[in-house]
Amino acid sequence: MIEFIEDGHIYLKDGIIIPSVSEILHFIFPDKYKGVDQETLNKKAKYGSTVHESIECFEQNKDLPELDANQRFSFTQYIRLKSENKIEVISQEQMIYYKNEYAGRFDMIANVNGCFSLCDIKTTATLDKEYLSYQLSFYELAHMHMYGTPHFEKLYAIWLPKRNYGKLIEIERKSTSELLKKIKEFKESKEICLND
């Protein structure tokens, strides 16, 4: 059983706190947001969350949240990409976990041009493919652990940058051995911190 506590962004697996995919990614990419002030990060996060919410509502035939002009443009780019790439959403915003090692929530599983795919929606100005490679690969590993399904055929970023045309970009996966190595390094770093 996996639970999520919004306040503090905490995942509980059978009542025990386990790391999030975001925590592990922060360990792998410690300087990703270096030099960006918290107010800017919060604005970007709010922008992205609203675009995500609009897509989720659209796919569930619910009313869209209130969107500003830029958010509406990003949303229309998603509609265009959906049509051009035959994106048929299977599930959205599902919580997953890998053993007692980590938990997270992926954006979307979809058939994309007929391929069973795991997708992440990004609204960033630039697309960090290496970051996404780890992120989507961690989600895929957890999904395989929970459901015993084989790899997804494709991993994709649905990239919807503000004021620019959206793109569907295939992301390369990391091997299971690479992911397990990073998990081990992350755990070792936590143990060092606890022992200091």
Q: In residues, how long is the chain? A: 196
pTM of the model: 0.91
Residue 52 tokens read as: 């995500």
pLDDT of residue 35: 67
Instruction: Please name the residue that has the structure tokens 């960090």.
Output: 128
| 133-177 pLDDT tens trace | 999 999 999 999 999 877 899 999 999 998 889 999 999 999 999
Residue 134 CB: number of other CB atoms within 10 A? 21
Residue 51 tokens read as: 């675009």
CA distance 51 to 67: 8
The CA-CA-CA angle for residues 181, 187, 192, to 5°, reads 125
The CA-CA-CA angle for residues 66, 83, 169, to 5°, reads 90
DSSP-assigned beta bridge partners for residue 88: 111
Structural domains of the chain in order of their starting residue, each with its CATH number: 19-195 (3.90.320.10)
Asked if 103 and 97 touch (Cβ cutoff 8 Å), the reply is: yes
pLDDT of residue 12: 84
CA distance 24 to 26: 5
pLDDT of residue 115: 96
- Could you read off the pLDDT tens digit of each residue along the chain, which spans 196 residues? 788 887 777 888 888 889 999 999 999 998 777 767 777 777 888 888 999 999 999 999 999 999 999 999 999 999 999 999 999 999 999 999 999 899 999 999 999 999 999 999 999 989 999 999 999 999 999 999 999 877 899 999 999 998 889 999 999 999 999 999 999 999 998 776 555 4
Q: What share of the chain is helix, strand, coil (3-state, %, to 5)?
A: 45, 25, 30
Distances (CA, A) of 172 to 103, 121, 147, 155, 169: 21, 16, 22, 7, 10
Beta strands in the chain (DSSP E): 2-5, 10-13, 16-18, 88-98, 102-112, 115-122, 154-159, 167-170
